[in-house]
């Protein structure tokens, strides 16, 4: 079965509501300054020095990305998001907080992952991805063998992969995919470990909305072995 890696792209919308004037200015002026450059990537190419790198795949409105970057100013954060309105949200957080350790890629995370060296990332985040709940669309889920192979290659030994969702079908699918692997160690001892948000896991508006709707939210942490 083909997955996003063999297909060569992720699926998702590019545009939602129309941008306001200030939002358009951020896209026109700030985004070019923060955009991931072309060509091979590493910490020096992205941030001008050798520092730990963390990557978020599909950062939504950017709350989690900005929150993590604010907690660790000495690390470099790469945010990938194909949805323009999500990119605007991240730009607003970065601008308001004066963050200088974030770069952004408006497009598929696979493109950035392909250009990073192996064993170069400290942490990879995949939070509330599109669940594609219909069985015929399962190949579109990022949580599939090809993309997880790539994450495994790009994470340093001991690096962390974090995955979160409020969709039960995606939970079952993810547990099947990750349970078959021997290159990740699931950091769990009891059920409450993946039902309770870790203290350093920044809550997003999407997560709050899911809880208001009565959805359970699951938090998974895996270490690269």
pLDDT in tens, 66-122: 999 999 999 999 999 999 999 999 999 999 999 999 999 999 999 999 999 999 999
Token pair listed for 69: 């970057």
Question: Is 108 annotated as catalytic?
Answer: no
**DSSP β-bridge partners for residue 220:** 163
**DSSP letter at 72?**
-
**Could you say which DSSP state residue 219 is in?**
E
* CA–CA separation, 1 and 4 (whole Å): 10
Tokens of 96: 């308001």
Q: Quick one: pLDDT at residue 13?
A: 45
Using CA atoms, how far apart are residues 26 and 88, in angstroms rounded to an integer?
A: 7
Give me the pLDDT at residue 135, please: 86
Structure tokens at 127: 């939070």
Q: Rounded distance, CA 57 to CA 49, Å?
A: 23
DSSP-based three-state secondary structure for 19: coil
pLDDT band at 9 (very low <50, low <70, confident <90, very high): low
- 132: phi then psi, degrees, rounded to nearest 5: 40, 70
The per-residue pLDDT for range 34-60, each reduced to its tens digit, is 999 999 999 999 999 999 999 999 999
CA angle at 125 for the pair 196 and 214, rounded to the nearest 5° = 40
**Tell me: the pLDDT tens digits for 114-155?**
999 999 999 999 999 998 889 898 899 999 999 999 999 999
CA-based angle 79:84:86, to the nearest 5? Answer: 55
User: Where in the chain does DSSP place strands (E)?
Assistant: 53-57, 76-80, 102-105, 121-127, 155-165, 184-186, 218-224
Out of 3, 49, 50, 130, pick the active-site residue. 130
């Amino acid at each position: 079965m083909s997955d996003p890696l063999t297909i060569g792209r992720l699926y998702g919308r590019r545009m939602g509501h129309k941008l306001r004037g200030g939002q358009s200015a951020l896209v026109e002026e700030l985004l070019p300054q923060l955009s991931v450059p072309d060509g091979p990537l590493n910490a020096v190419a992205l941030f001008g020095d050798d520092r730990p790198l963390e990557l978020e795949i599909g950062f939504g409105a950017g709350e989690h990305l900005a929150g993590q970057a604010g907690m660790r100013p000495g690390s470099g954060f790469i945010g990938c998001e194909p949805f323009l309105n999500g990119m605007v949200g991240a730009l607003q957080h970065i601008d308001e907080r004066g963050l200088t350790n974030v770069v952004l890629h408006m497009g598929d995370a696979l493109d950035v992952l392909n250009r990073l060296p192996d064993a170069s990332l400290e942490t990879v985040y995949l939070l509330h991805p599109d669940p594609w709940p219909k069985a015929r669309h399962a190949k579109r889920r990022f949580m599939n063998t090809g993309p997880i192979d790539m994450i495994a290659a790009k994470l340093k030994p001991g690096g962390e992969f974090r995955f979160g969702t409020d969709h039960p079908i995606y939970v079952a699918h993810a547990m099947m995919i990750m349970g078959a692997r021997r290159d990740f160690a699931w950091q769990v001892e009891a059920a409450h470990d993946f039902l309770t948000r870790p203290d350093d896991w920044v809550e997003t508006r999407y997560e709050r909305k899911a809880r208001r709707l009565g959805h359970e939210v699951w938090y998974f942490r895996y270490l690269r072995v």
